[in-house]
Amino acid sequence: MADLGSLVAAVLFLSFALYRALIIWRGSDPAQRYIAGFAGCMGAAMLFRAPVVMSALRDLAPLDTVVMLITHELKSFAHVMLLLVGLSLRPAAADRTAQRRQIRLAVAVLVTGAAVLLMAGVRAESGLATAPPDRRWLLAVYNVLFAAYGTWCLLVLTRELVRQTRQVAAGPMRTGLRLMTFAALLGIVWTLWVLTYVPMNLAQGLHTASEDVVCSVLGAVTAALATGGATATWWASASGGLLAAPGRWLSAYRTHRALEPLWSALRTELPQIALDPAAPRHPVLWRAEFDLYRRVIEIRDGHLALRPYFPADATDRAAPTGTDGTSVGPVGPGERPAEVRAVVEAATIAAALEGKRAGRAPAGGSPSSPASQQIAGTVAAEVAWLLLVTAAFVSSPEVAAARVRARTDTAGLKAGPRSR
């Protein structure tokens, strides 16, 4: 498990470093160079610290101490890159003085860490790094220094990522910033995990030369979140990203389900509108776009089939009214808001369905619905319109009143001949 986690993290980081390096060749801002540097350093460190790699190196020579020093220095340098990324995200680019100050601090930490580890006299022994009894505390100091500096760098980056996220509108960029923020927070946990070695450092003078299982898993998840966040504009774009097609399928599936109340009412009274009677009621996800298009056609076919049953006065009687009883919005149907026209359309269909159930068209039936004539000639506009009509068909009180009125009118038409 430790091998798998370390190798997955290494591959993710190194692949991302190569990807960013190719972008850098085409020109980039400093933040892109820092990100590429971080990924390269962290990927190399995780690769060297993978147990399978450590075992192969151990067969050649007892290099555990050297590898431990190199990998921790690479990780520390990766933290420096993250700190510089954070500085570059500030409203005004970090001035040269601030950058030089941070670089001097980083050099001091790197040199001090290497010196402390060498002074500890660490040696390789049975896959573990060991220190003499009188120098065990130096091994613990080395780990504390690494954890403290790494956490500081990640906290600076997290603060800037949170600030940037608040300023970006919803979309792939914001998704990427959030994933990178989660990666930074998990990276803090990953960095602080080294402190769990301190009791063993002090009591036995031991340190694992390779990554343990928890550390490897933390590294793999952090790498996945970081690379996912940094490439979000590629895979999360609604127009051409890696998830564009699944996103469209899911949107079409939801819309297909949202149109079901109107479609079901029409299909029940007009079964002939079904283009494929054997089609399942709910679509398979990857066919949802096609099934949605078919459902729109079937609804429109049902609408046309109901034309003889449209009440002549549906436009005037179904529109919402104000407290004084006057119609809301302009009188002209084409000038009314879309929501009002959708209520008129839904009420017209509801009344026509009642007439169809009664088996008789009302006197003075209208050949078309005024509201439906306002639709734009695109599938997207048609879907948006039918969603409004379906919502009104299900929940509008004006539509419910139109149903009751249609039933009363139909009952009156049936009772009329008998009363004479």
CATH number of the domain at 131, please: 1.20.1070
Other CB atoms within a 10 A radius of the CB of residue 192 amount to 15
Q: What is the DSSP letter of 359?
A: T
Give the pLDDT of residue 321: 52
**Are residues 209 and 156 part of one domain?**
yes
Question: Helix (H, G, I), strand (E, B), or coil: what is residue 252?
Answer: helix
Domain end among 242, 261, 284:
242
Q: Tens of pLDDT along the chain (420 residues)?
A: 555 656 777 777 777 777 767 666 555 567 777 888 887 888 887 777 666 666 666 555 555 567 677 777 888 888 888 888 887 777 655 566 777 788 888 889 888 988 888 888 777 666 567 788 888 898 889 889 988 988 988 898 898 888 888 887 777 788 888 888 998 899 899 889 888 888 888 888 777 655 567 777 887 788 778 777 777 766 665 555 555 677 778 888 999 999 999 999 999 999 999 988 888 878 888 788 899 999 999 999 999 998 888 877 655 555 555 444 444 444 444 456 888 889 999 999 998 998 888 876 655 545 555 545 455 567 888 999 999 999 999 999 999 998 888 888 766 655 555 444
Q: Report pLDDT for 239.
A: 53
pLDDT at residue 420, as a whole number:
40
Please check whether residues 209 and 168 belong to one and the same domain.
yes
CA distance 216 to 175: 25
305 plus 383 within the same structural domain? yes
User: Which residues 6+ apart lie within 8 Å of 180 measured at CB?
Assistant: 161, 225, 226, 229, 230
| CA 81 distance to own-chain centroid | 26
**Contacts of residue 251, Cβ cutoff 8 Å, sequence gap at least 6:** none
Q: Mark whether 64 and 171 lie in a shared domain.
A: yes
Count the neighbouring beta carbons within 10 Å of the beta carbon of residue 362.
21
Cα separation, 248 vs 246, in Å, equals: 5
Residues 272 and 232 in one domain: no
Q: Are residues 221 and 279 in the same domain?
A: no
Distance CA 39, CA 139 (A): 27
Phi, psi of 128 (to 5 degrees): -120, 155
For residues 195 and 60, state if they share a domain: yes
Last residue of a domain, one of 242, 262, 285: 242
* Range 88-97 contact pairs with CB under 8 angstroms and sequence separation of 24 or more: 88/29, 88/30, 88/31, 88/34, 89/31, 89/160, 89/161, 89/163, 89/164, 90/160, 93/30
DSSP-assigned letters across all residues of 380-413? HHHHHHHHHHHHHHHH-HHHHHHHHHHHHHHHHH
Whether 198 and 260 map to the same domain: the answer is: no
pLDDT value at residue 248: 79
Pair (272, 387) in one structural domain = yes
pLDDT for 309: 86
How confident is the model at residue 302, as a pLDDT? 92
pLDDT of residue 325: 45
Claim to verify: residue 122 and residue 96 sit in the same structural domain: yes
Residue 357, CB-side half-sphere exposure with 13 Å CA sphere: 16
Chain-centroid distance, C-alpha 373: 38
pLDDT for residue 105: 87
Contact (Cβ atoms closer than 8 angstroms) between residue 150 and residue 143: no
The pLDDT of residue 205 is 78
State the pLDDT at residue 329: 44
Q: Do residues 182 and 35 share a domain? A: yes
401: domain range? 245-419
Instruction: Report d(CA 34, CA 109) in Å as an integer.
Output: 18
Residues 354, 340: Cα–Cα separation, whole Å: 21
Tell me what percent of the chain is helix, strand and coil, each rounded to the nearest 5: 75, 5, 20
What does the pLDDT read at residue 246? 74
Residue 316: per-residue pLDDT = 56
Question: What's the domain count of the chain?
Answer: 2
End residue of a domain, out of 200, 224, 242: 242
**How far is Cα 127 from Cα 209, in angstroms, rounded to an integer?**
7
Q: Are residues 257 and 406 in the same domain?
A: yes
